[in-house]
């Protein structure tokens, strides 16, 4: 059973979805607890930041 205080915040879910969008991951976030989602964000964040940096580097060339 998931207690209300253990549910992730809307901000956490949206941030995880944002990071997922760069990695083409579709893990189900709705079944994760707050701790699980926090750990998940920490695990995918470095890869997502790398992709974001690469994309920004390519767009900076054109602007």
- In terms of residue numbers, what domain contains 48? 4-62
Return the pLDDT at 56: 85
* Alpha-carbon gap, residue 56 to 1, rounded angstroms: 42
pTM over 0.85: no
Residue 63 has which token pair? 């602007």
Return the pLDDT at 63: 53
Q: 22-62, pLDDT tens digit by residue? A: 998 888 998 899 999 999 999 999 999 999 998 888 776 65
Residues 6 or more apart whose CB falls under 8 angstroms from that of 19 comprise 41, 44, 45, 48
Return the pLDDT at 40: 95
Compute CA 2 distance to the chain's CA centroid, rounded to the nearest angstrom.
Answer: 21
Return the pLDDT at 43: 95
Q: Total structural domains in the chain? A: 1
* Alpha-carbon gap, residue 53 to 31, rounded angstroms: 30
């Amino acid at each position: 059973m998931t207690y209300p205080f253990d549910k992730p915040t809307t901000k956490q879910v949206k941030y995880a979805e944002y990071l997922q969008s760069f990695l083409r991951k579709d893990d189900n976030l709705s079944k994760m607890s707050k701790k699980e989602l926090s750990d998940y964000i920490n695990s995918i964040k470095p890869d997502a930041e790398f992709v974001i940096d690469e994309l920004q580097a390519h767009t900076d060339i054109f602007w």
